[in-house]
Amino acid sequence: MSDPSRPPPAAPMDPGSVRAWTAPEPGRLMGRGHPAGDFLEAHQWDLLEEGPGLLRVSCHLPTQVRNPRGQLFGGFTPTYVDMVALQTVRAGRRQEWTNGPRNWLATTNMRIDYFEPILGPRFEIESRLEKARARTRFVTTRFLQDGEMAVYALTTMREVAIGRPLGDA
């Protein structure tokens, strides 16, 4: 009989999602197989630059994320920010994260400021790991449309053990 006061065990990792994060094609940030990444068509993003705690990516603007004016719908912006910020923490250390013990990065806070619309057909995202302290990671992310900063985001993440039951501190 299970104890209702105890959180359920951690869900197993989906192998397709893990592969999408850890084994993209050369020149790509992600592969196919991650539900949110596939929705954003992240497997088509061009990886322009990667270094320790630094990413620059060229993205296209898929039809399904556009508002009625053809711009990036603001509600999808956090998905882009989250996907890129998580990858930024691992940037330049992909082999270490792929072959070593895996930890989960849980986004704990995100702030987004919108300055200009993202119109496409392509735009760039630049992201930098600003601070890593103990299990906390702080990342800044900028969206550039035609060289102009359009979006600025701050993301705080916490590294947690992958086998930790959901809901445990």
Model pLDDT for residues 82-99, shown as the tens digit of each residue: 999 999 998 987 666 555
Q: What's the chain's average pLDDT? A: 87
Residue 26, pLDDT score: 87
Confidence of residue 153 (pLDDT cuts 50, 70, 90): very high
Residue 104, pLDDT score: 81
User: Mind listing the pLDDT tens digit for each residue in 1-27?
Assistant: 555 565 555 555 566 666 666 678 888
Strands of 82-167, DSSP E: 103-114, 122-133, 136-145, 148-161
* C-alpha to C-alpha distance for 141 and 131, rounded to whole angstroms: 13
The domains located in the chain, with CATH, are 15-161 (3.10.129.10)
Residue 2, pLDDT score: 56
Residue 165, pLDDT score: 66
Residue 71 has pLDDT above 70, yes or no: yes
Residue 152 has pLDDT above 60, yes or no: yes
Residue 33, pLDDT score: 87
User: How is 5-63 classified by DSSP, letter by letter?
Assistant: TSPPPPPPPPHHHHHHHH-PPTTBS--S--HHHHHHTGGG-EEEEEETTEEEEEEE--G
